[in-house]
Structure 1
Amino acid sequence: MFGIGISATAGAQAVDTNPLNRAPETRAAFDRFYVMDYDGALSRFQAIQAAHPQDPIATDYVLDVTLFKELFRLDLLDTTFYANDGFLTGKHTVVEDPKVRDQIKSLSDKAFDQADAALKINSNDANALFARGWARSLEAAYLAMVERSFGAGLKLALGAKNDHEKVLQLDPNYIDAKMVVGIYQYVVGALPFGFKILIGFAGIHGSKSAGMTLLQDSSARGVITSVESRTATMLFLRREAKYPQAGEIARGLADQYPHDFLFSLEQANLFKDAGDGPKAIAQYRLVIDNSKRPGYFPASHLELAYFGLADTLRGQKMYPASVDAYREAAFIPTTSPELKRRCLLAAGQVYDLMNDHDKARQQYQAVIDAGSDSVQAEQARKFQHSAYTGH
C-alpha cells in the first residue's frame, strides 16, 4: 500500500519539486503503480531512468517500485500488521529473496552516489538532497519491514529525515520533503521507551502531533508524496483507534484508485476495527467479488480479504460461514505458510465454539502438519488436548 503518488491538487506555482516529477511519462508510470500494476510501472520507470541516467530521482522511481512489489509479494503491505506495537515484538516469518534484497541495496547505493555527485557540485542542491533522503527512507523500510533490523533501519531513517529537513530549510515550498520528516517524527514519537533503549535510540525524540501536521500538508500539496502521506496518516489514525477519520481517507484513496486492491481492502479493515460488522462483511465480500472479475485488480492477495471476512463473521457469531471463509483463505495459492496456519488454527477454534471438537482437532492437526515448530502449532497442540473456549 505505501508508495509515492502524484498529487492531483498540487499547485504548480506554489510548490517546488524536481521537474521530472511533473513530466507526463512520470505521471503515467505512477498511474500504473497505483493500480498495483508493478510490472507496468517498473517498465515505464526504467525507461525514464534510461533517459535520465544521472538523475538520482529517476533511480529512486525504480527503487520505489522494486521495493513495494517485493513487500506486496511478502504480504507486508496489509496495514493490519502495523496497527499496534505487536509489529515490533511479534513474530512474522517471511522468506527473503536475496536477489531482490541485493537489487534494492544496489539501487539505493546508486541513487545515493548520484545524489552525492550532484551535492559535490552544489551542496545546496535541494533536488539531490531530496533524492538521497528518499533512497535512504526506502532502504530503511526494507530493513525494518522485511529483515526487522529496526536499529539499522532507524539509523537510515534518521539520515533521510536530516536530508529532508535540510531541503525544507533551503526551500520551505519543497512540500514533498515534509513526508519523510513527518513519518519519522510520528514513528519515533510513538515508539515505546523500552524499545528505544533496546535499539540504542533513547536520546532520539519525535512528536506524533508534529508528524501529523507535516503529513497533512504533504497529503494536501505534495507533488509525488500525496498518496503515501495519506496512506501513512490513515495507518497512524487506525493505530490510535480514530476509525472515522481513517475511514474517510481510505474512501478517498479507493475513489481515486478503485482498482487498487489494498485501498479497497482497507475500507473493510477499518469497518471491522470500528466494530461495524455488517458493513465490514459487505465490504469484504465486495472486494472478493471484484477480485474474481478478470482484470479488475491488476494484483491482489485474495486470502487477506477472506481472512478479514472470516474474522468478522466470527465476531458476529456466524460460525459456519466463518469456518468456510477461513478455509478459503488457507488454500488460495498465494497464501503464505504463516497465514495458512493462522487460518487453520482459527477454523479449529471456531469449530470448538460450535462444540464440534472432532472437527476442531482435524484443523489443529493440519496446523501442526503445516509447520510443527511454529507458534501456531504450539497453540494447536494445546487445543487438541483442551478445547478452545474463547478465553
Structure 2
Amino acid sequence: MGPVGIGPIIGLLALGIAVQDPLIEKGFEHFYNLEYDEAIAAFRRYIERHPREPGGYNHLAQSILYREMLRAGALETELVSGNNPFLRRPKMNPSAEDQRQFDEAIRRSIELSQARLQKNDRDTQALYTLGVAHGLRANYNFLVRKAWRDALRDATTARKLHNRVTELDPNFIDARLVQAVHEYVVGSLPWHWRVLGFLVGFRGSKEEGIRILRQVAEHGQINKMDAKVLLCAIYRRERQPALAVPLIQELLAAFPRNYLLYFELAQMYSDLGDKERALEPLARLERLRASGTPGFNRVPPEKIYFARGNIQFWYRDLDEALENMQRAAAHADVLDLNSGVLAWMRLGQIYDLKGQRQRAIEAYRQAIAYAPESDAAKESQRYLSKPYRRADVRG
C-alpha cells in the first residue's frame, strides 16, 4: 500500500510551458475544457511543425494521460477526500496504444531536453522541459502502474531539476509549481516514507507547499491555472472549501465548457453546509445540457443524478436521494468507474436507512460486480452481513 491520501495530488499535476504558438494556445484551450481528443490533435500538429521542441511531446503525453483520467473519473477532488480514496481503487487501464504513445512522447522529450543540456547545462528551458517529463512520468507511475516509489522518485527528480531552474533564474515563478507540489506531498507522507534514499534532504511542509502554490497562482504565467486547480484539490483535502469556491468560479469563467467544475462547485458548497447553493450548479448543468450549449452534451444525465442524489443523501433527504440514485444506477454503464460503483453502493445505503434490507443487498451486490477491486466494492461487501447505519438517521 502506498502513501494514502497524497497520490491524487500528484495525479492532478499539470505542467505547462510558455504559450508562444497558436497551436499550443488552441491545444490548451481544449485541454482545460476537457476536450482531450482536440487537444491531442493540436499538439500533434505542433510536433509535426516543431519536431525538435521537447515541450510539444510533454503536452501530447499530458493530454493522453488526462484523457484516460477523465474516463476513469480520476479528475475530481472527491478522490482526495471522499470515502473512496484513489489509492484504493483499481489502477487505470489505458489501451496498449495509448501507453505506447505516452511512453514514446516522454522518451522524445527527455532525449531532446538532455541533448540541449549537453550543449549548455544552464539552459533553463531544457531543465524545465526535462523536469516536466519526469513529473508526467510520476503521474503515470502513480495512476497507471501504481508504482508508488517510482512515482515519488520521478517527482523528486522533477523537483531537483526545477530547483536548478529557479537557482539560475529566480524570476521563473512557474518552475515553482513542481516544487510546491513536491513540498506538499512529502510533507503529507508518513515518516517511514520520508526516509527513502531519494527523499533525503527534503523535509517537506504542507504549509510551505500551499504558500508556494498561492505564489504561482498569483504571479505565474504559464502555470497559473494549474496552481489554482491544485489549490482547489488541496483545500478540499484540508477541509477548507471556502477557499476553493472563488478559485473554482475563476476557473469556470476561464474555461466555461469544463463541466467538472460545476460538480466541484456543488461539492464545495455541500462541504460548507449550504445545500441549496450546492444543488444550484447541478441545476445549471442540466439547463446548459438541455439548451444544447456546446460541450455539455458530453455530460451524462446520470452523472448529474448521482451528484444530486449524493448531496441529498448526506443531507438526509432520503426520498429525493433514492429517486436520483435509482436513475443514476439504472444506467451506471455510462458513468465513470468511480461514480458508477458509488451510485450502486449509495443506493444500497439509502435502502438500508429506509429499512428495505433485501433491496439494499441487491444494490450492494451490483456495486461489487461493477468494480470488484474498488474500495466501494469492499465496503459494500461488509454491508451484505451488517446493514449500513448512520447516527443522524434513524433506521
Within 5 Å, which residues of 2 pair with 1:304-343?
304-330=303-329, 331-337=331-337, 339-343=339-343
| Structure 2: runs of 5 or more not aligned | 1-11
Q: Does 1:285 align with 2:283?
A: yes
Q: What is residue 11 of structure 1 aligned with on the other side?
A: none
- Choose from 40, 57, 67 the match for 1:42: 40
Q: How many residues align?
A: 378
Q: Does 1:348 align with 2:374?
A: no
Amino acid aligned to 1:327: Q
Amino acid aligned to 2:14: G
Distance 1:85 1:387, change over 3 A: closer
Q: TM-score, normalised by structure 2?
A: 0.86
Q: Is the 8 A contact 1:277 1:315 kept in 2?
A: no
Deviation of residue 241 (structure 1)?
1.0
- Choose from 4, 25, 28 the match for 2:26: 28
Deviation of residue 342 (structure 1)?
2.6
Within 5 Å, which residues of 2 pair with 1:200-239?
201=199, 204-239=202-237
Distance across 2 between alignment mates of 1:337 and 1:100: 19
Q: What is residue 175 of structure 1 aligned with on the other side?
A: 173
Distance across 2 between alignment mates of 1:3 and 1:88: 18
Q: What is residue 3 of structure 1 aligned with on the other side?
A: 14
- Choose from 125, 128, 135 the match for 2:126: 128
Distance 1:97 1:302, change over 3 A: farther
Distance across 2 between alignment mates of 1:338 and 1:139: 23
Q: What is residue 296 of structure 2 aligned with on the other side?
A: 297
- Choose from 169, 191, 208 the match for 1:193: 191
Q: Is the 8 A contact 2:90 2:373 kept in 1?
A: no
Deviation of residue 45 (structure 1)?
1.3
Q: Is the 8 A contact 1:37 1:299 kept in 2?
A: no
Distance across 2 between alignment mates of 1:386 and 1:358: 12
* Larger mean Cα displacement after TM superposition, 43-52 or 203-212: 203-212
Deviation of residue 372 (structure 1)?
6.4
Corresponding residue SS for 2:307: helix
Distance 1:370 1:67, change over 3 A: closer
Distance across 2 between alignment mates of 1:169 and 1:24: 30
Amino acid aligned to 2:363: Q
Corresponding residue SS for 1:114: helix
Amino acid aligned to 1:310: G
Distance across 2 between alignment mates of 1:157 and 1:388: 40
Deviation of residue 180 (structure 1)?
0.9
Distance 1:338 1:45, change over 3 A: closer
* Larger mean Cα displacement after TM superposition, 178-187 or 210-219: 210-219
Amino acid aligned to 1:317: R
Q: Is the 8 A contact 2:92 2:143 kept in 1?
A: no
The percent of aligned pairs where both chains have the same amino acid is 23
Cα deviation per residue 1:12-40 (whole Å; 9 max; x = unaligned)? xxxxx75xx23333222211222111121
Q: Is the 8 A contact 2:68 2:92 kept in 1?
A: no
Q: Is the 8 A contact 1:139 1:153 kept in 2?
A: yes
Amino acid aligned to 1:354: K
Deviation of residue 169 (structure 1)?
0.9
| Structure 1: runs of 5 or more not aligned | 6-16
Cα deviation per residue 1:72-91 (whole Å; 9 max; x = unaligned)? 12211111102379747533
Q: TM-score, normalised by structure 1?
A: 0.87
Q: Is the 8 A contact 1:259 1:296 kept in 2?
A: yes
Distance across 1 between alignment mates of 2:362 and 2:147: 37
Amino acid aligned to 1:359: R
Q: Is the 8 A contact 2:72 2:338 kept in 1?
A: no
* Larger mean Cα displacement after TM superposition, 142-151 or 365-374: 365-374
Cα deviation per residue 1:272-311 (whole Å; 9 max; x = unaligned)? 2222222112223323443454333375465544333222
Distance across 2 between alignment mates of 1:173 and 1:200: 27
Distance 1:105 1:52, change over 3 A: same
Corresponding residue SS for 2:43: helix
Corresponding residue SS for 1:176: helix
Distance across 2 between alignment mates of 1:151 and 1:171: 30
Distance across 2 between alignment mates of 1:160 and 1:106: 19
Q: Is the 8 A contact 2:40 2:60 kept in 1?
A: yes
Amino acid aligned to 1:322: A
Q: What is residue 12 of structure 1 aligned with on the other side?
A: none
Cα deviation per residue 1:203-237 (whole Å; 9 max; x = unaligned)? 64212222222222221232321111111111112
Q: What is residue 366 of structure 1 aligned with on the other side?
A: 366
Q: What is residue 182 of structure 2 aligned with on the other side?
A: 184
Cα deviation per residue 1:117-154 (whole Å; 9 max; x = unaligned)? 11111111111111110111011111112322111001
Distance 1:384 1:67, change over 3 A: closer
Distance across 1 between alignment mates of 2:151 and 2:338: 24
Amino acid aligned to 1:107: A
Q: What is residue 5 of structure 2 aligned with on the other side?
A: none
Q: Is the 8 A contact 1:2 1:68 kept in 2?
A: no
Q: What is residue 4 of structure 2 aligned with on the other side?
A: none
Cα deviation per residue 1:163-216 (whole Å; 9 max; x = unaligned)? 111111111122221111111111111222244458985764212222222222
